[in-house]
Structures are given as C-alpha cells and as structure tokens.
Amino acid sequence: MKKIALLFSAALLMLAASCTNQEIVSDEAQPLKLNITVAAPGGPDTKAAKTNWAAGDKLNLWFDDNDVEHAAPDLVITYSGTEWEAGSLRSGVSLKADGAFSVVYESTNNLANYTSSYDSGTYFFNPPRATFSNKSVVDNETCYCRPLIITANDIAYSFSGNTLSADIDALKWEVNSHFKVLIKNVTTGLSAPDYILKVNNDSQPWTAAAGSGFSLKTGSSVPTANGNVGSNNVGLSGGVQEPDGIAFYYSYFWAYQPGHPTDCNITFTLYEGDTAKKTYTVTGKQFDPEFKYCYGVSLKYSSFN
C-alpha cells in the first residue's frame, strides 16, 4: 500500500508541475486576423501605371481615436499575392467595435526610409532625396525621389473576435502621383537616386509638378492623409528603381494648347550624377489626363543625347 501511495503522490506532483508551466495565451497575444477587401488602385483603365496589387505591397493604416502624436503607422498590412496579411498593432493601439482609419500606399513599400517631421498638428513624411552633392547643377533646388503615392481616408471598420473587417472600395482611393516617366535600359551603373528628371512643356511655361511625400493631419478623430505635398517649383524629381527601369513620379503634368492639342513639344532633361545632362524632345504630342489614375510614358535611355 505504501508503494502505491508513493506512486500516486508522484503522479500528483507531475500533474501540478505540468499545470504550473502551462503557457497561458491571452486574447491580446493572438495574431490579428483580417477580413478585408481592397479594391485595385488602377481601376479598369489599362493605361494606369498601377492596375493591381502585387506581392509585397504594403498599406500603412492609422486608426481613429488613438494617440496620433507619433509618426509610425498603427498597423501595416502586406499583400502576399493572394491575400492581405496583418502585422502587429503598434504598442498602445486599441481598436473599437466600430471605427474608421486612413491608409497610405507608397510604391517603395519601405516607410522606414522616410524622414518625418511634425508641425502644427500635421506630420510630414518625406522620401529620400536625390543624391546630388552639387546642387547648383539643378538650380539649388531640393529634389525628392518621390514614388507612386495613393491614399484613402475615413475607411469604416469593425472589430470583433480579434478580427478586423473593412472594405476599401475603388471610390475611396485618391491617386496623388498622376504622371510617371519610366526610363528603360539605363546602362551607366549609377543607382536610381543619382538621376534627376525635369519635364517641360515647351509650348507653354509649364513643367511637371514635382512633389515630396505625404502628410498626415491629426486634428480630427480620424487622421487625414494627403499625398499632394510639393517640393520644388521647377519640375525636378529624383529616380525610383522599379523592376523594368527607373521611374520619376510627379503630382501632375499637362501638355496641350487650347485649339491645337497636338502642337506641343515636350522636353525631358535627365541629370546624371553631379554634372552630366542629357535631353530628349518629342513633338506634336498631347498629354491631358484625368486626375483619377497615374498615367505615364516609357522612354529608352538611348533616346537621350
């Protein structure tokens, strides 16, 4: 009997130890689940520079009624190629049963490369600058390597059972980079930020509108994202590396003459490093886009002289 009692006591001790060491996972530690529909940014128009989401694309979200005195997004979700996957909520963020958020997409998918500043209730996010050290070459202007920027504001969401549900429909997307120039087959070995492009409508005193990054206004319950933040006034934009070439994005560009829509001459001026400058001019062209998508043109590097 004594032997049986000892065995029974040992079993109880093992069971107690097992219960003591058992990991308890709270609801807060569980991964955030998504039930989210995200409309394509380009819509049905195949002329748009971006017509769908690609694997690795990231959306940066800022929620309502949270501590907005910060630069980091409250949540980043990433497209896997088939579905959107959630990262971790920023420390201190709490979601309500029903609320709203604003969202920013920037095509480098690397918000960590941006610098942020705060002024009078608004955060400003700027991408890297072009790497020119001799700014006199480009008229002493500040030039940013602006990517494609798309924003959406006041998106309704619900939160239940650790699942975030939302629908970002096509009408919510605001394309903030309306004009793109892609230069293909660049063979110099320089990196994209070593290039600056200026686009000018020679038939009118118009240059493409250069921009920097985006802003986030924190004065209301839902932070408001705005991708139309200017930089210089002379049409200079830095290069962004993309799979098929070096891209230059602008807020907008017009090339037309009332009554003579095909009489415009457009000059593209490409700055390389600190000194080299090449140009390419096209004649008899028209560019008068709708400000709904990002439209653009592709040029061969060999066309510049």
- For residues 161-177, give the mean pLDDT: 91
Please report which confidence band the pLDDT of residue 51 belongs to, taking 50, 70 and 90 as the band edges: confident
251-305: per-residue pLDDT in tens?
888 777 666 666 788 899 999 987 778 999 988 777 766 667 888 889 999 999 9
C-alpha 70/C-alpha 88 separation (Å) is: 16
Q: How long a stretch of residues is the chain?
A: 305
Across 118-132, 224-238, 255-269, least confident range? 255-269
* Residue 133 CB partners (closer than 8 Å, separation 6+): 274
- Asked if the model's pLDDT at residue 6 lies above 90, the reply is no
Q: How far apart are CA 195 and CA 130, in angstroms?
A: 7
In the prediction, which pLDDT does 191 show? Answer: 93
Average pLDDT over residues 67-93: 87
With residue 192 as reference, give the H or E element that holds it: none
* Confidence check: pLDDT of 65 > 90: no
pLDDT at 20 over 60: no
pTM: 0.84
Task: For residue 16, count other CB atoms closer than 10 A to its CB.
Answer: 10
Q: Which of 81 and 286 is assigned the larger pLDDT? A: 81
pLDDT at position 74 over 80? yes
Average pLDDT over every residue of 40-44: 71
Residue 81 pLDDT > 80, yes or no? Answer: yes
How far is it, in rounded angstroms, from Cα 285 to Cα 300?
Answer: 17
The arithmetic mean of pLDDT across residues 177-200, rounded, is 91
Using pLDDT thresholds of 50, 70 and 90, give the confidence band for residue 118. Answer: confident
pLDDT band at 3 (very low <50, low <70, confident <90, very high): very low
Q: Which of 222, 200, 197 is CA-nearest to residue 100?
A: 222
pLDDT score of 121? 82
Average pLDDT of span 8-16: 40
